[in-house]
Amino acid sequence: MPEAKILLIYTGGTIGMVRNPDNQSLSAFNFDALLKQIPDLALLEVNIETTSFPNPVDSANIGPSHWIMLAKILLDNRDAYDGFVILHGTDTMAYTSSTLSFILRGFNKPIILTGAQLPIGILRSDARENIITSIEIAAGRFPNGEPIVKEVAVYFEFNLYRGNRIHKHSSEQFSAFISPNFPPLAEIGVDVQFHHDRLLSVDETLSKSLLQNIHTNLNSNIIAYTLFPGQSHRMLRSLVDQGEVDGLLLVSYGTGNAPRDPELELAIESMIKASRPVVNISQCHAGRIRQDLYEAGRWLQQLGVISGKDLTREAAITKMMYLLDHPEVEAFRHWMESPIAGELSI
């Protein structure tokens, strides 16, 4: 087989940052300087080409316009490369990997995101290992030339995770991410051990239609509303009554429980009467929503609140952004409660 061809895309993030000598804060740096720090890349039996956002950013600044830009780079180069590695800040990596998994369903080639907790120029940085292993994973093929990974995944600190299952849980440990409701797709020690039974396989018909018709209309008029005891729900109600909220993500307790507070109930009722969806996920990172388990969850189900099942917060928000322009709430409910890119377990 000829060497795999990989496109390395730099968006910004700590991995390529340098310290400003005046105030010591970290800011995004030039891509060529980053590559010079890893001359070993030339030793890999992979043909690597690179591209970069015109202005690399701290991932706190990433949003829908960047996601569309990334999707366009990936689609324009899909046929010319065997796999893709995206260097991205860790802060919002889970949002980007989730969004890409939805808008690029059926892409059918490896899209691996990675980053680092320390800039590559620092001796103890985790960047070098994360980049090199991500490239090896993106280049992984079966003897018939088919890619091993055909989905959006995140490689970090010896684990490959499904991109729409991760959550950044630590700003200090090298293992910055967890995938609380889905096990790793691969574990990396001396060898790369893929769990083939966990990897997505792709429906070819789906892939053709979606790639011709990529859906980039992301609606961000969403409130992610985290409950806490004693909370006043007046502000939420007033925003909902002003018609400002197109989708409400209720971040509830435990298996999907919420206090039966009159203001909260009115806010949820007005959303649902106006055909604007309300989705329930849990403040717990692991486990799933079961609105029928307690009386404190059943009232939400009776009002028509949609179960976010075991979605992460990042996947729930970006999936809502992706699905919100569905004119029919029932179609929205159906897709929200069904896996479309391996993001939830039924």
> CA neighbours within 13 Å on the CB side: how many for 235?
6
- Is there a catalytic annotation at residue 14? yes
Main-chain phi, psi angles of 65, to 5 degrees: -65, -35
Site stretch for ligand ASP (CB under 6 A), options 58-66, 229-237, 279-287, 311-319:
58-66
Q: Which of 16, 48, 91, 247 contacts ligand ASP by CB under 6 A? A: 91
**Residue 129 sits in the site that holds ligand ASP (CB under 6 A):** no
| Binding residues for ligand ASP, total number by CB under 6 A | 11
Between residues 84 and 177, which has the closer beta carbon with respect to ligand ASP? 177
CA 51 distance to own-chain centroid: 21
134-163 binders of ligand ASP (CB under 6 A): none
CB of 96 to ligand ASP, least distance (A): 10
Tell me if 59 contacts ligand ASP by CB under 6 A: yes
| Interaction pattern, residues 8-27, with ligand ASP; x per rule: CB under 6 A | ----xxx-------------
CA distance 98 to 319: 8
* Collapsed DSSP state (helix, strand, coil) of residue 56: strand
- In whole angstroms, the minimum distance from the beta carbon of 336 to ligand ASP comes to 28
Among 16, 56, 83, 89, binds ligand ASP (CB under 6 A): 89
Does 307 bind ligand ASP (CB under 6 A)? Our answer is: no
For the chain, how long is the longest CA-to-CA vector? 66
DSSP E strands in the chain: the ranges are: 4-12, 17-19, 26-28, 46-57, 83-87, 111-114, 152-156, 159-162, 167-168, 177-178, 186-188, 192-194, 222-226, 247-252, 278-282, 306-307
Catalytic residues: 14
Residues that bind ligand ASP (CB under 6 A): 12-14, 58-60, 89-91, 115, 117
